[in-house]
Every structure is written in structure tokens, then in C-alpha cells.
A and B are shown apart, each in its own frame.
Chain A
Amino acid sequence: MNNQQSTELLFELSKPGRRCHRLPACDVPETRPVSDLLPANHLAATSPSLPEVAEIDLIRHFNNLSTRNMCIDTNFYPLGSCTMKYNPKRHERWATSPGFANLHPLQEDDTCQGMLELLYEMQQYLCEISGLHAVSLQPAAGAQGELTALFVAAAYFRDIGQNQRKRVLIPDSAHGTNPASAALAGFEAIKIKSDTQGLVDLEDLKKHLDDRLAVFMITNPNTLGLFERQIQTITDLIHAYGGLVYLDGANMNAILGITRPGDFGADMQHYNVHKTFTGPHGGGGPGSGPITVRQHLAPYLPTPIVVREGDRYRLDYNRPKSIGRVRSFFGNVGILFRGYCYIRTLGPDGLKAVSENAVLNANYLLARLKHAYEIPHGDRCMHEFVASARLLRREKKISAMEICKRLLDFGYHAPTVYFPLVVPEALMIEPTETESKETLDAFADTLLKIREEPAEFLQKAPHTLSISRPDEVKAAKEPILRWKPAVG
């Protein structure tokens, strides 16, 4: 079946006079014309030129377009570092119930005690899971969580009179968001080398330790899917030089209930709620990026936080040393809500089992692929691993991109490609805990098969999707970012 109907652009479907939503007649007296209520110089002559379609056009349009998406509900999605796991349906039902969905962000604390209790409990859980003491649920996404933590660090150093601490050290395998956050918080980002095993090069790190050190940002397990064995040594060193350790929590899903950042020396960390727990990612958002910090950094967290007084909960705005706010209102509550439900559904044993199965699944996939694909950093991993198509490219002219595009033909979303930057022709694979052995086997079989296909065939993949190999150079050179009516 080929769902083509009404898939032109909305603007091409538009026909003057068609309508979908209708408004009731005005029930208050219309004693004065609009022009008496609003000054003429503020009024637009016409309403915006939005498309005019009927309800069935709208529904067919978006329903048919939706079939051109791969998503976690229809396809295995081993997108490394992005942790695409199942989104339980019960969460959608609960999150959309009026008792939560219809709460106004500025209504009084007395009228939303249930909401505040849930958020308070979430604060407690996140502290316990990270082994840290205080939390802000405000950041809207992981990247904003990072930025918030660095704002906190800057405020802390200002407060204790150590303004000279302007350097943030970041391993070269880090997410691009790390140096970006450092720069926007007024720090200088400095790259630390990886050693041959893909871990932090301690000698290189030591070269950068002095009283200019502010923060060391580390992803652990790192983006190669490896746990930093020397993490305690590293965090001790950073503390000895008066610096703070920031844990990029992107990979917390590997260590839930097994080890805690606070216990291995982190002073601050963010969570990506959709990765560590679960949350639908909506084609690129929403996320939610709460941060937890050690006690001495608590005063600088954004405002408000939920506090408990007896059996009542309230939002605490009276925090004089706070950095302020990174967004309006409380936070991405809808995503926090789903994370809360995931934690409550799994409990302490279940969360540990999440990490165990995420790590088991990744290692199993690695074991199934290592004879056919180069795995530059050893034959064990945590929750994800990075393969390289470097040799395949050299020997058979098959690049990581070709493999990715061909996987789509088989109904698998592609792994993350060309990241981390320290691995050439990288294919970063993360199966997550919500997949079965059968799925992993079928995926591995497919990757083994693709490897044997002719390069010329792969270079034209995908062959079965609605489009193939869009011209990205053209898109970037002469950007067309909106539809415009044809002239004349």
C-alpha cells in the first residue's frame, strides 16, 4: 500500500473557503467594533495567509506522512548515544489525564499538591540514583542541563572568590554539547586526549591541572561505551587542584544501581530523562535535563525547587544565591512525569536490571559482529559500542554511510555515524534493554549480509524507501526553508 493521498504540502492542499475548526458565536455583547477596542495602527489589514483545509484533509495528510517515519514503535532503532528505548503506553494515558495535563504553571501550590508530591519524589529519586544531594528539575533538555551546571559552577567560583578558574577540560571523545556549553557559560574549553584504549589520557590531563582549572567534564561510560577504570584517580586529581567534576549523564542507563556518580567523585551531573529512563522523543524533542549536585553547590541551583514541610509541598523561590532561571515555569514536567512512572514501575531491582540488560544486549551484539566489523576499542563494552568501517572502506569502498542507508531497506534505523570523532568511519550501536535476543540476532544477520553486498549497490541505498539520498549540498547552498506561493 502506498499512502500518497493528501501528502502534498498543506499549502498546496489549501482551497479558499475550506474550514476545519469552527468557533461559537460571540456570547458577550458586541457593542463596539474591533477598531474601537484596538488602535488602528496596531491592527493588521488581513489575517495571516494560513492554509485552508477540511478536517479529513488534515487527518489524511498527517496520517499518511507519518508512515514515512521510522519510529521506536515500528522499528529497531540502535542509534548510539541517543538511547532509543520503548515508550510505555500507560505513560501516555496517565500524562494526558486532566488532573495533570490541565494544571496551569502559575496556579497556587495548595491546588496542585499531587503534582508537587510527584515532583518532590522525583527529586529524591534522582538524588539517590546519582548519589548527589540536591537537584533542579528545571532544564528543558540534556544540553540545557549541562549549561545550567556550568552556570552553577561559575556562580560558585565567583562566590568563593576564585574568578581566575576559567578553564573547562573536556576529553576529545565528548559530545559536541560539552564544549558548546562551556563556551556559553564563559569558560575556555580545553581538549584532553584519549589514550589508545579510548580512555582519558592521564598524562595529558595532568598537564592542564593548575589554579585556572574550573571544571572537568566527563562522560562515563564514555561515548565509546567504555567505563573509565581510573575515574576515582581522575576525580581525586581534579579535586586536589580545586576543580569541580561534571558528569555528562548521557550514559547513566549503563550504571543504574551499580555505581553512582556521587560515589566516584562527580560534583554535578545531568540526566537525559528519555535516555536514562524513558520518554517519547517526538522527532527531536521534548527532552528534559534535570541536574543533581553536591551539597555545597545546592545554593546556586535554579529557582524554584519543590520542598516538603510536614505533609505539604511548596515551590521554594527564596534562594538568594541561585543563578536564577534557565527557562520559564517549572520544567518539562510531562517528561519528568514519564521518567517518574518508569522508576516506579521498575523499582530498585528493575532499574539495576535495566542496566544489566542494556549492557548484556550491547555485548551480545558486539560478539556477533566483531569478526566481520572492526571494533577498535576491544571486545567488551558497556551499553553501546563503536564499530569502524575504516577497513571496509579501504578494501571494498563501503563507508559507514553506505551501511547505514542500506540498513533502512531492511527496516532498521541506522546507528549513529561519524561520531565519536576519535573513530574513523564510526558506527555507534546501542541496542538498549528493551530489545530481545531475536531482534538483535536478526539485526546482526543483516549487518553481516550487507557487508557482502556490492559497493555500487550499497552506494545507491536505500532502494525501498520513498526517497533516496537527498542532495544535502544543494539544500545547504541555496536553502529553501519555507514554501512560497508560485509567482504570477
Chain B
Amino acid sequence: MADLSALRYAKTHEWSLLDGDVVTVGITQYAVDQLTDVTHLQLPKVGKSVTAAEPCGEIESVKAVFDLYAPVTGTIVEVNPTVEKDPSIINADPYGKGWMFKICLAEGANLDHLMNLEAYQQQIASEGH
């Protein structure tokens, strides 16, 4: 189990983990629960420039399709080939093997606009009615 307090969270339910200037991105357990079984992913290609809070891919369940938002601004440097082939890994291990892509931060970009665990948990609580 990943250390959830080490992660930063977007209000669109992506988590981010900073290591040097590379950010690993996945979606949270809450998002997985809302989606139910993930059936298909469309991830950005390596080399693509992405902008914080803008769509960069799609995630699908049987009856719904959602945008994946880039949590930070930068360039895609790696995509998880295993989850593209078997998206159920995201259901099984969203914070571990279910990571989706890595972004190399653009110059001047950072994670300051993202939430910490506590703030994210508050957001979920308010969404959950």
C-alpha cells in the first residue's frame, strides 16, 4: 500500500507523486469506486505536452466515459503499458501497479495547486452526500 499522505490530489480525482522532477499519476480509490470496472483507457502518448487541469486522456467503464486530467503541466515521459492492456489493474491496485503515466514537470511548474490528503478527503466527504 502506498503512503497516501505522500501523494497530492486533483479535484478531478487524480493522484500525483513527485520524484525529482517527474510526477507519477494515477486515479484515486474513490474515483475507481465511482467508475466501477474500468474497461478501457486512452492514455496520452510519450512526448505529448500536457497542461494542468486540462484533459489528456480518457477512462471508460461499461456505461460511462470520463476525461483524465493532467494534474500538472509538463511532458509525458512514460506510460504504463500494463494497465493499457489490462485496465482491471487499476481496480485492483489504483495507487500501485495501477499508475497510468509520468509527467516531467515543465519549467516553473509545481504541485502547489494540488490538495493534500486531508483536503482531498474533505472534498470526497462533501461529494458523497
Interface set of A (CB-CB < 8 Å, partner B): 418, 472-473, 476-477
Contacts and interface: CB of A to CB of B under 8 A. Distances in A.
Interface string B30-58: 00000001011000000000000000000
Contacts of A418: 63
Given A473-B37, A476-B39, 6 more contacts: A418-B63, A473-B39, A476-B62, A477-B40, A477-B87, A477-B88
A476 B37 CA distance: 10
Interface string B86-107: 0110000000000000000000
6 closest pairs, A vs B, by CB? A476-B39, A473-B37, A472-B62, A477-B39, A476-B62, A473-B62
Contacts of B88: 477
In terms of DSSP, what is the predominant structure of the interface of chain B? Answer: loop
Interface string B72-95: 000000000000000110000000
13 contacts: A418-B63, A472-B62, A473-B37, A473-B39, A473-B62, A476-B39, A476-B40, A476-B60, A476-B62, A477-B39, A477-B40, A477-B87, A477-B88
Contacts of B39: 473, 476-477
A418 B64 CA distance: 11
Nearest to A472: B62
Contacts of B63: 418
A83 B64 CA distance: 24
Nearest to B87: A477
A295 B63 CA distance: 41
A272 to B, nearest CB: 23
Interface of B: 37, 39-40, 60, 62-63, 87-88
A418 B61 CA distance: 15
Contacts of A472: 62
A477 B62 CA distance: 9
A311 B40 CA distance: 60
Contacts of B87: 477
A476 B39 CA distance: 6
Contacts of B40: 476-477
A476 B62 CA distance: 7
Nearest to B62: A472
B91 to A, nearest CB: 10
Contacts of A476: 39-40, 60, 62
B7 to A, nearest CB: 27
A287 to B, nearest CB: 23
B17 to A, nearest CB: 27
Nearest to B63: A418
Specify which of B37, B40, B60 lies most central, judged by the most chain A CB atoms within 10 Å of its CB: B37
Contacts of B62: 472-473, 476
Nearest to B64: A418
B90 to A, nearest CB: 12
B26 to A, nearest CB: 19
B40 to A, nearest CB: 7
A472 B88 CA distance: 14
A418 B36 CA distance: 15
A476 B87 CA distance: 11
A309 B83 CA distance: 66
A476 B60 CA distance: 10
A473 B39 CA distance: 6
A476 B40 CA distance: 8
A476 B59 CA distance: 13
A312 to B, nearest CB: 52
Nearest to A390: B129
B86 to A, nearest CB: 8
Contacts of A473: 37, 39, 62
Contacts of A477: 39-40, 87-88
Specify which of A418, A472, A473 lies most central, judged by the most chain B CB atoms within 10 Å of its CB: A473
A424 to B, nearest CB: 9
Nearest to A418: B63
A111 B40 CA distance: 54
Nearest to A477: B39
A378 to B, nearest CB: 21
Nearest to A476: B39
A406 B37 CA distance: 23
A400 to B, nearest CB: 12
A260 B39 CA distance: 45
B66 to A, nearest CB: 13
Nearest to B60: A476
A472 B40 CA distance: 13
A19 B40 CA distance: 42
B10 to A, nearest CB: 21
A5 B62 CA distance: 33
Nearest to A478: B39
Specify which of B40, B62, B63 lies most central, judged by the most chain A CB atoms within 10 Å of its CB: B62
A418 B62 CA distance: 13
Nearest to B86: A477
A191 to B, nearest CB: 15
